[in-house]
Structure 1
Amino acid sequence: MAIQHFPLKLVSRRMLAPTVGHYTFVRGDGAPLDFIPGQFIQVHFHYADGTATKRSYSLATIHDHALSPGEAVEIAVSYVPGGAATALFEGLEDGGQIDASGPFGRFCLMPADANRRYLLIGTGTGVTPYRAMLPQIEKLIAERGIEVVLLFGARTPEELLYGDEFRAFADAHSAFRFVPCFSRELPADPHPDVRHGYVQQFLDEFSPSDSDIAYLCGNPNMVDACFESLKGHGLPVPQIRREKYISNK
């Protein structure tokens, strides 16, 4: 898959959480964006002193095919106080353009996988690639009878990105469990699968084994803690796929 450089034109934005925006773009050159769910794009811009820089954003677009010309390209953007990228996105008007390249990355479901279950573990915007994977997951449940557990860590209910979408998917697919883990406060009427604490505290509950494949995406401390825990449960390192998210200003 060729890496391309292309303009993205803003179509709309909405707030997912107090400090996270969901941005919908189309390619400004009219071409489609061919990507595999789990991949990311890079956004290129300049600091005030003219120095070139870039930021990486996982694609949140739900799709199971190459995007057609004019089809949405979606990302989730964390706002960092005083951040240059935050200023870029907050100042972007509808119809405004940014410079992007990609797709990049191998944090994807693999066609050769023969596992019994996927353990998808994320915090913050690290859950974005799992949203993009939902059509693939639906297909794998139907074709291969796999099970999926999504453990998603957030501080509070208002920071649970795409939570309603994941809950609706879980309600429609008995083989998919959505387990939100709140470190600070619980919702008023929590679902039975809601947990109070950090995602790494609840891995043991799901008895990881070498028949699982795990994906870890988000806070580096969470990724490292879950990586060590999963190895302790007997998962071979190639069956633990990792992507760390570090907030850059």
Structure 2
Amino acid sequence: MLAPSVRHLVFARDDGQPLDFIPGQFIQVHFQYPDGTPTKRSYSLATIHDHALGPGEAVEIAVSYVPGGAATALFQAMDEGQQIMASGPYGRFCLMPNDANRRYLLVATGTGVTPYRSMLPKLAELMRTRDIEVVVLFGCRSPAEQLYAGDFLAFAESHPGFRYITCFSREMPAAPRPDDRSGHVQDVLPELAPDPDGDIAYLCGNPNMVDAVFEALKAAGLAVPRIRREKYVSGK
């Protein structure tokens, strides 16, 4: 459990082959409602692959438990060795090879931070080859809901151009870090002084947050093509 209502799950393809994907993409899990009606849910891949060494075999996702949710019932009952059916990868919420920016602003709430975890090796390469800066601005309610914080903090320690800011909307940590903030991600955005010429922003997670930050970035002068969005909507 990454948080009281978020579970980290690791799968492997049953044919033993790796799942090659572009960081930022997602898979769709296919299953049935109790009445037999087929349905599916999408999950961003949290897997960290170093493509310099080739893709690995793990397929990692983070699943939010929604009370009464059909996918929640599926994953809560899942034990080691059980199988799911999935398709993909899909999606274009990825780092673009011709980007000429000076900084990435990666904004997320909840499990919206999972694609940024998968992007870490590529971000390390870009920071080394293009000397860019990266800011992850993550919003959650309390310290118990910091998803993958250990991975981002360790990455920040070894990469001086990387900054990890956490915004707590309800409860601050007992011993806050210098980059811990009280409030929502959109409240902290002005502190980062979004630059219309130098920044490209990625927004992932709660639709209300995505819309609010999108409007704030447009007001700061960022062109719409420099703001890339993926909204997460919980389904029953």
Give the TM-score taking structure 2 as reference length: 0.97
1:217 aligns with 2:216: no
**1:228 corresponds to 2:215:** yes
Q: What SS does the corresponding residue of 2:93 show, helix, strand or coil?
A: coil
Q: Is the 8 A contact 2:29 2:86 kept in 1?
A: yes
Once the two structures are TM-superposed, the CA of residue 89 in structure 1 deviates from its matched residue by 0.6
Q: C-alpha separation between the residues in 2 aligned to 1:110 and 1:86? A: 33
| Partner secondary structure for residue 97 of structure 1 | coil
Look up the equivalent residue of 2:17 and give its one-letter code: A
Aligned to 1:49: 35
Q: Is 1:120 aligned to 2:110, yes or no?
A: no
Q: Distance in 2 between matches of 1:42 and 1:31?
A: 18
Distance between the aligned counterparts of 2:55 and 2:178, measured in 1? 37
1:29-178 aligned within 5 A? 29-65=15-51, 66-68=54-56, 71-178=57-164
Asked if the contact 2:138/2:167 (under 8 Å) is kept, the reply is: yes
1:234, 1:21 → 2: CA distance? 38
- 8 A contact 2:18–2:58 mirrored in 1: no
Deviation at 1:199, TM superposition (A): 0.2
**CA–CA separation in structure 2 for the residues paired with 1:131 and 1:170:** 12
Distance 1:50 1:228 in 2: 41
**1:242 — aligned with what?**
229
Distance 1:28 1:94 in 2: 14
Larger deviation: 22-31 or 152-161? 22-31
Higher strand share: 1
Separation of aligned partners in 1, 2:162 and 2:103 = 10
Give the 3-state SS of the residue equivalent to 1:33 in structure 2: coil
- What is the CA deviation profile of residues 80-137 of structure 1, one whole-angstrom value per residue up to 9, with x for unaligned ones? 1111101111111211000000000000001100100000000000000000000001
In 2, the alpha carbon distance for the partners of 1:116 and 1:81 equals 42
Q: Which amino acid aligns with 2:165?
A: V
How far apart are the structure 2 equivalents of 1:148 and 1:244?
Answer: 21
Provide the C-alpha distance between the structure 1 equivalents of 2:195 and 2:132, rounded to a whole number of angstroms: 14
Equivalent residues in 2 for 1:13-32 (5 A)?
15-32=1-18
**In 1, Cα distance between the equivalents of 2:166 and 2:99?**
26
Q: CA deviation at 1:175?
A: 0.5
**TM-score, normalization: structure 1?**
0.92
Describe the superposition over 1:173-224 as per-residue Cα deviations: whole angstroms up to 9, x where unpaired.
Answer: 1101100000001111110010000000111101101210000000000000
1:172 Cα offset (Å): 1.3
Residues in 2 aligned to 1:219 and 1:176: alpha-carbon distance in whole angstroms? 24
Code of the residue aligned with 1:67 in structure 2: it is P
Total equivalences in the alignment: 233
1:64 Cα shift? 2.8
